[in-house]
């Protein structure tokens, strides 16, 4: 089974972002960037499938600016075999990303695509589902367990209210939830080795994909700030305030 793992370069999860002064977006200049945490879980799962003998080759893919190659090198250091970078400075919507991923999936003939369930910048939670729809593939979103059983994939999904298990025929699309695994750290020798692993650089024009404009960002605002609260000295005071001031109990 050949596995494709798309990864995204995003602002590090622990950085608190600010809206820029002209309200056109979020100021990401000079912020620490990292591989999207859910993508990291997807890479780890692919590596585990390979270690378990289920996956034969892992190809990682990133679509974005030149600097995304850093995140591809990280994925290679974690155990991916080779990388494909589709370079673009445009801010593509998930549908366009899904079309490009599908083009790579077709070119590489991969059996399984594992993605993160959402990127922590756009918070869209769409790309995997859209890829599955475009490729007429079955999907298992929000996966917390993935196993290969013969020629089908058995996936446990996190749903509102509990868990659900489905069987998918390959080729299939899986999106990783937080609970799927605990990603490993890249060791220094692996980081060195990753520098020699193949990284192919392409552009959207190398694929026969028409990308449309789907939306305009009119403005980006900071959310309303909560007014500072009060510290209470005791449980009695807290109960009194909740009863008489906030009137919520």
Partner 1 sequence: MAILVLAEHDNASLKLDTAKVVACGQAIGGDIDVLVVGHDCGAVASEAQKLSGVRSVLVADSASYANHLAENVSDLMLAIASDYEHVLAAASSFGKDVLPRVAALLDVSQLSEVIEVFSSDTFVRPIYAGNALATVQSLDDKKVMTVRSSAFDAVALDGSAELVTLAQDIAPQVEFVTQSLTESERPELGSASVVVSGGRALGNSENFGILEQLADKLGGALGASRAAVDAGFVPNDLQVGQTGKIVAPDLYIAVGISGAIQHLAGMKDSKVIVAINKDPEAPIFQVADYGLEADLFDAVPQLLAQL
Binding of residue 29 to partner 1 (CB under 8 A): no
Sole binder of partner 1 in the list 53, 150, 189, 223 (CB under 8 A)? 223
- The binding track of 228-247 with respect to partner 1, each residue x by CB under 8 A or -, is xxxxx-xxx-xx-xx---x-
Q: Are 230 and 238 in contact (CB under 8 A)?
A: no
Binding of residue 118 to partner 1 (CB under 8 A): yes
Question: Closest by alpha carbon to 173, among 133, 125, 209, 144?
Answer: 133
* Minimum distance, C-beta of residue 81 to partner 1, in the bound complex (Å): 28
- Go through the chain and tell me how many residues it has: 249
Answer positive or negative: Cα dihedral of 111, 117, 121, 124. Answer: positive
CA distance 247 to 249: 6
* Minimum distance, C-beta of residue 154 to partner 1, in the bound complex (Å): 7
**Closer of 109 and 225 to partner 1 (Cβ):** 225
Cα–Cα distances in angstroms (integers) from residue 180 to residues 134, 156, 183, 211, 239, in the given order: 25, 9, 9, 32, 40
Strands 152-159 and 162-169: antiparallel
Region from 65-73, 81-89, 105-113, 224-232 binding partner 1, contact rule CB under 8 A: 224-232
Binding of residue 32 to partner 1 (CB under 8 A): no
Within 123-162, the residues that bind partner 1 by CB under 8 A are 123-134, 138-139, 141-142, 144, 152, 154, 157-162
Distance, first Cα to last Cα, the chain: 57
Within 53-72, the residues that bind partner 1 by CB under 8 A are none
Region from 47-55, 66-74, 167-175, 199-207 binding partner 1, contact rule CB under 8 A: 167-175
């Amino acid at each position: 089974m050949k596995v494709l793992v798309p990864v995204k370069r995003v602002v590090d999860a622990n950085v608190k972002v600010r809206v820029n002064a002209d309200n056109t977006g979020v100021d990401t200049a000079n912020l620490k960037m990292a591989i999207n945490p859910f993508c990291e879980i997807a890479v780890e799962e692919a590596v585990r499938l390979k270690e378990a003998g289920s996956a034969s080759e892992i190809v990682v893919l990133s679509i974005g600016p030149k600097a995304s190659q850093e995140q591809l090198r990280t994925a290679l250091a974690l155990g991916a075999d080779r990388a494909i970078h589709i370079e673009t400075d445009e801010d593509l919507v998930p549908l366009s990303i899904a079309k490009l991923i599908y083009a790579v999936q077709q070119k590489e003939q991969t059996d399984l695509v594992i993605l993160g369930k959402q990127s922590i910048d756009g918070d869209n939670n769409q790309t995997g589902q859209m890829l599955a729809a475009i490729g007429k593939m079955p999907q298992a979103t929000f996966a917390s367990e993935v196993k290969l059983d013969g020629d089908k994939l058995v996936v446990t999904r996190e749903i509102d209210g509990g868990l659900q298990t489905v069987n998918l025929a390959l080729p299939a699309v899986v999106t990783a939830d937080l609970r799927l695994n605990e990603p490993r750290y890249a060791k220094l020798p692996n980081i060195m080795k990753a520098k020699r692993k193949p990284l192919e650089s392409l552009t959207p024009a190398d694929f026969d994909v028409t990308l449309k404009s789907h939306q305009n960002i009119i403005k980006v605002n900071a959310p309303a700030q909560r007014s500072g609260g009060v510290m209470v000295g005791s449980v009695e005071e807290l109960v009194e305030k909740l009863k008489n001031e906030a009137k919520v109990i």
